Structure 1
């Protein structure tokens, strides 16, 4: 399942600040060697010592908290901290060897203005792609959205630009997946999607197919796909997969997806099936460029035969599209 609490680190820091306890955001801005947490990882620290999130998996959190509270009680300046992670400490958090991490600590209201953090949180609440951009030499700050830093947004990569002073902290909405058709392939695909970090929803108006007994623990909608997808919301962090072969069910989902900016749309079916699908979509007024967005037959050609193998091929193609464009 998606770690909702961990994903709310900026929001938690803002809540603590507004509650009057004071708060700071610590962000991993650079790593060398084997680092416990990737660049962009965040830790919220309140003035009374509460913490949420992580910048090191436990290696240096204590030191960061002490420095953050000192900054909150002092002049509220931005801090740049550098820590070495010993081999023993690294091994304790599951790494083979040590490294170094650089952590930026920004007290809210001084180093990081409250209104800028509030705007960042508002963008996140709307599932907008947003980045916090800081010039570490001049202190100039801004929020950026695509097409700026498009490559970073695509691969979820926070870090310094080539100038070595501009840090870009990427805040992408959590990934979501819509699977249309509660067929055998959907059973392993839903599990794989969750393992890969997607919040997955299964849609099938046929209640006998989309039944909790067949998909225990999954989010299921028995509404018609176009209605369910409009209610769900589609955006550049959503992948859509249709699996039924039935035009009455798949076509409304495909049409809804083509009207949106989902980053992936894949449809099960042979080349012949897809040719018929293309003809129907053209009758609906879709152009060749629109139809070319559909990955069909769905999945990378790895020779998969079983439902699980086909699900692997689908997840591989989705990952390729997400990370490579």
Structure 2
């Protein structure tokens, strides 16, 4: 790979941004298309598809075949709440290829025994976010039912343009949540991005079923995301 292309690609990787290396098969010439540049590129449709799917491949163009090598940051799933649902969700998320971590300041719940092999932060979410901020390749699920724990990461997720944001609770609970977020200055257009009740509508009742519903929503949001439009202001989709 061309040295300048490799250096630029590594910079995008370090910043957890997607990029595609475009290689002309006839000449070997290469160029890097950053995620933010896709819409202006002559191969916008093909490159956008590669980023959404995460799949590389050959594309036929007017000037010959090109190989699109897609580089996506690992999708990250952050669960706020070390509860029964997260116990079921953690192994499922790993099987689906997501880097999952759990945050809950309640040390009685956030124990290694309950979450073996799972990155666990038994501290307040805001303390974790100082060093591990959310980004567009992060899904955030808040499931503690405690506004003191849930609201701060919800606001951070909305501001970061996370590809999925879900919150546990009834519609009545969510209505109160909306009031708090509005009082905190979050616009309604951003609040509307929250999936509440959380998870796909499959009639889930048990913690395991709810975990399945949540993971289904996360996968759908990731594979169907409108990443480029959401970067407008980092808060709201087109």
Structure 2 residue matching 1:259: 3-state secondary structure: helix
Q: How big is each residue's C-alpha offset from its partner over 1:247-290, in whole Å with a ceiling of 9 and x where there is no partner?
A: 01110110111110211111101111111101110111111110
Return structure 1 stretches of 4+ with deviation > 6 angstroms: none
Q: Which has the larger share of helix?
A: 2
Shift of 1:166: 2.3
Structure 2 residue matching 1:257: 3-state secondary structure: helix
What is the RMSD computed on CA atoms of the aligned residues? 1.4
Structure 2: gaps spanning 5 or more residues:
39-46, 226-238
Partners of 2:145 and 2:49 in 1: CA distance: 35
Q: Which has the larger share of strand?
A: 1
Shift of 1:174: 1.0
Corresponding position: 1:124 with 2:13: yes
Counterpart in the other structure of 2:228: none
Structure 1 residue matching 2:180: 3-state secondary structure: helix
Partners of 2:60 and 2:141 in 1: CA distance: 37
Contact 2:2-2:30 within 8 A present in 1 as well: no
Contact 2:19-2:70 within 8 A present in 1 as well: yes
Counterpart in the other structure of 1:220: 120
Corresponding position: 1:300 with 2:189: no
Shift of 1:162: 4.6
Q: Using structure 2 for the length normalisation, give the TM-score.
A: 0.85
Shift of 1:154: 1.8
Q: How big is each residue's C-alpha offset from its partner over 1:155-176, in whole Å with a ceiling of 9 and x where there is no partner?
A: 2122233526122110001111
Q: Larger C-alpha radius of gyration, 1 or 2?
A: 1
Q: Which has the higher contact order (CA 8 A, sep 6+)?
A: 2
Partners of 2:201 and 2:165 in 1: CA distance: 16
Structure 1: gaps spanning 5 or more residues:
1-111
Corresponding position: 1:137 with 2:26: yes
Contact 2:17-2:35 within 8 A present in 1 as well: no
Q: How many residue pairs get matched?
A: 214
Contact 2:13-2:73 within 8 A present in 1 as well: yes
Partners of 1:120 and 1:273 in 2: CA distance: 44
